Amino acid sequence: MDILNLLEVLKPASHVVLVKMENSSNLWDSVSKVLIAILPAFISFIALLFSYYQFKSNMRNQSEQYALGIKQQLMSLKLNTQLATEIELKKDVCKEVRAAFISFMKHHAEQYHAKVDYKELLGNRDTESVRERKRLHEIVMEKAQLIMENKVLLDSYLDLSDPEEFKFFQSLNELSSIALSGGDGTGADLGAAQGKCSVLCFNFIEKRRKEITSLVDTIGN
């Protein structure tokens, strides 16, 4: 009886649940697992952060380059505008000097011829001659005024510190003195003075033309 009771005790019951116990992981293993789990996200965050600052730096560099480009374009535009303005001013000087000089020469010739005709009528006392002398005298006075106006205009364009332009100024004075001196000069004297003055006027305009060409070549460079 005792043996049977002992076997009954040792025999495990069908309803008994066996539990297997395992040792818990240590702290370092847990931390390692957590780090491994979050490492991809951390790397992605660092990459995004680096990309952001790289993008921000690129945008700043592009903005600076754009601003520098705009500044250079504005400076170039300003310089080209100044050059274009200077070119137009020089062109205007050439046109005005040419027009004033042609008028100056024309009035000299007309005044000189009026003086010559006036002198030829001095000995005549008839009414027609007196009337003609009066008309010629008016022409002489009118042309003298126009000569002086044109000369003042021409003188205003001359730089007397420049030797060539000073020669032009002297030649203008010489030409004027022939016409305004009472007709003492001959037609040959007037022609020679006109020829000399014309050459100096051409040199003056040619100098401005070369300056214009040089400025045109500068624009856009």
Strands of the chain, DSSP E = none
Q: What is the pLDDT of residue 185?
A: 60
Say if CB 174 and CB 198 are below 8 A apart. Answer: no
Q: What is the pLDDT of residue 219?
A: 67
Give the whole-angstrom CA distance, residue 118 versus residue 103.
22
Q: What is the pLDDT of residue 135?
A: 92
Q: What is the pLDDT of residue 134?
A: 92
pLDDT tens, position by position, 13-44: 454 444 444 444 566 766 677 667 777 777 87
Q: What is the pLDDT of residue 23?
A: 46
pTM recorded for the entire structure: 0.65
**Tokens 């009035």 label which residue?**
107
Q: What is the pLDDT of residue 20?
A: 45
**Burial, 47: exposed, middle or buried (Cβ in 10 Å; 0-12, 13-18, 19+)?**
exposed
Give the whole-angstrom CA distance, residue 216 versus residue 74.
19
List, in order of start, the domains of the chain with CATH numbers: 79-218 (1.20.120)
Q: What is the pLDDT of residue 5?
A: 53
Residues of the chain with pLDDT under 70: 1-27, 29-31, 34-35, 182-186, 219-221
Give the whole-angstrom CA distance, residue 89 versus residue 59.
44
